[in-house]
Structure 1
Amino acid sequence: MKLLAPSILSADFSKLGQQIKEVEEAGADIIHLDIMDGRYVPNITFGIPVVESIRPITNLPFDAHLMIVEPEKYALDFIKAGVDMISFHMDATIHSHRLVDLIKSNGAKAGVVLNPATPVNTLEEIIHYIDYVLIMSVNPGFGGQKFIPQTAEKVKKLILLMEQTGRTDILIEIDGGVSKENINYLSMLGVNIFVAGSAVFKGDIKENVKILKQNMSICI
């Protein structure tokens, strides 16, 4: 499974509805929502009212990356607003397992996030319960950053852990610096979901989506 998830953080918010429709028509698979609170990361983006306002625009799944402290306080509200997937940072909550259970018991997919400096082995006790892992290939907080090359090794380590724990069904998502030039390499490593911001919304959106989807599907 190879899925493209444009991040609307890089969209033109004065044309947000139009650009969401454009990426859907171009063949995008998921809409990625970067939710930042100015506390867990040094930036503030948008919240539940914006999610509610754009939910009627598209039938694509919404994937919310909660870069917020105490995500357990807001996860259910995001699900009620129409989010289908929620990922959170384990160091932002005290009870990760409880939060995973809350998300899944309310009909959404649950994922956890690995920051660039977070080791893969932190997943050992939670990997049996989650649906996907989001690997950050930049430090979270701002769009348009450069891809951190060491991320490739993290993907390999995650795949090894998945094999060791019998959870090869977990999806691997990657976010940060994904481009037309590196998406094929990441795909061959075993990544399933590709979050792309500037690579989608800078320039011709439909052409960008087309090229990204082509490149992530090529097997060399």
Structure 2
Amino acid sequence: MQQPVRIAPSILSADFARLGEEIRALEAAGADYIHIDVMDGHFVPNITVGPMVVKALRPHTRLTFDVHLMISPVDPMLDAFAEAGADILTVHPEAGPHVHRTIQRIKALGLRAGASLNPGTPAKMLDYILEELDLVLVMSVNPGFGGQSFIDSQLRKIEALRKSIDKTGKTIDLEVDGGIDAVTATRAIAAGADVLVAGTATFKGGDYAANIARLRGN
């Protein structure tokens, strides 16, 4: 069953010179999760942050740290991000040889486990691990850069995953990341998403509370 909409601002669009302050402002503005994009310059083109930054940010908020690992190989880094303070670790099936084993390791670390699907990765990739997951992330842009436009074909994938998740009877977040603004947020929610990752749309103009409310449809 689709859950209430939650907003996960991506700190990729924050002021990196004052990330702690930015995260405190997001919590005050009503954010539900803090989305942390980890890029390695290999699995995706850019390089962003590592476990040291996550650890430095952890004391600034009690909000869930939703850490999206766009790195390969991913398995050697799971423990470090867990120790740094992540609450959710989301991995790509293509980022290691045995995604089920990766999910098992995340669970063994006491964290919530997510799997992310790139625009060209089919929903059926998760058929045999879906019930092990706490979160499914649909990338509605190709990962690696902020500020891209929403890829409309991903709405069909969200709809398909919504049906698959509901069939499990389990509480699994269905998250969408990429090109999310007030318009595409409405479409993603209608398709079945219940967590929205938004960078530009959250930070634009500086009124974080108003921006988050707008993304919720308020």
| Pairwise TM-score range, normalised by the shorter structure | over 0.9
Partner of 2:97: 94
CA contact 2:141–2:148 (8 Å) conserved in 1: yes
- Equivalence for 1:162: 165
Aligned length: 214
Question: Secondary structure of the residue that 1:74 maps to in structure 2?
Answer: helix
Secondary structure, aligned partner of 1:182: helix
Query: How far apart in 2 are the matches of 1:163 and 1:11?
Result: 34
Q: In the aligned structure 2, how far is the partner of 1:53 from the partner of 1:162?
A: 34
How far is the alpha carbon of 1:127 from its aligned partner? 1.1
Report which stretch shifted further, 182-191 or 24-33: 182-191
Quick one: distance in 2 between partners of 1:209 and 1:160?
A: 27
Q: Aligned-pair distance for 1:10?
A: 0.6
Matched, 1:79 2:82: yes
Give how far 1:171 is off: 1.4
TM-score, with length taken from structure 1? 0.93
Q: 2:135 aligns with which of 125, 132, 153?
A: 132
Give the alignment partner of residue 171 of structure 1, picking from 154, 169, 173: 173
Q: Which runs of 5+ in 2 are unaligned?
A: none
C-alpha distance in 1 between matches for 2:34 and 2:166: 29
Larger mean Cα displacement after TM superposition, 40-49 or 185-194: 185-194
Unaligned runs of 5+ in 1: none
Q: Kindly indicate whether the alpha-carbon contact (under 8 Å) linking 1:127 and 1:167 is maintained by their aligned counterparts in 2.
A: no
1:8-157 alignment, distance < 5 Å:
8-157=11-160
Task: Give the letter for the 2:92 counterpart.
Answer: H
3-state SS of paired residue (1:169): coil
Go from structure 1 to structure 2 and tell me whether the alpha carbon gap of 1:167 and 1:70 turns closer, same or farther (over 3 Å shift).
farther
Deviation track 1:140-195 (CA, whole Å, cap 9, x = no partner) reads 0001100001111011111233345x255221000000101221221122111100
Decide whether the 8 Å contact of 1:51 with 1:81 is kept in 2: yes
Q: How far did residue 203 of structure 1 move?
A: 1.1
1:193 to 185, 195, 206: 195
CA distance in 1, matches of 2:92, 2:130: 14
Query: Cα deviations across residues 50-90 of structure 1 (Å, max 9, x unaligned)?
Result: 11111101110101100000111111110111000011011
RMSD across aligned C-alpha pairs, in angstroms? 1.3
State the alpha-carbon separation in 1 of the partners of residues 18 and 151 from structure 2.
30
In 2: Cα distance, 1:57 partner to 1:203 partner = 23
Instruction: Quote the Cα distance in structure 2 between the aligned partners of 1:158 and 1:109.
Output: 18
Quick one: distance in 2 between partners of 1:142 and 1:63? 18
Give runs of ≥4 in structure 1 deviating > 4 Å.
none
What's the CA shift for 1:7?
Answer: 0.2
The answer to whether the 8 A contact 1:174-1:191 is kept is: yes
**TM-score normalised by length of structure 2:** 0.94
> What is the CA deviation profile of residues 106-163 of structure 1, one whole-angstrom value per residue up to 9, with x for unaligned ones?
1111011100000111111111211111000000000110000111101111123334
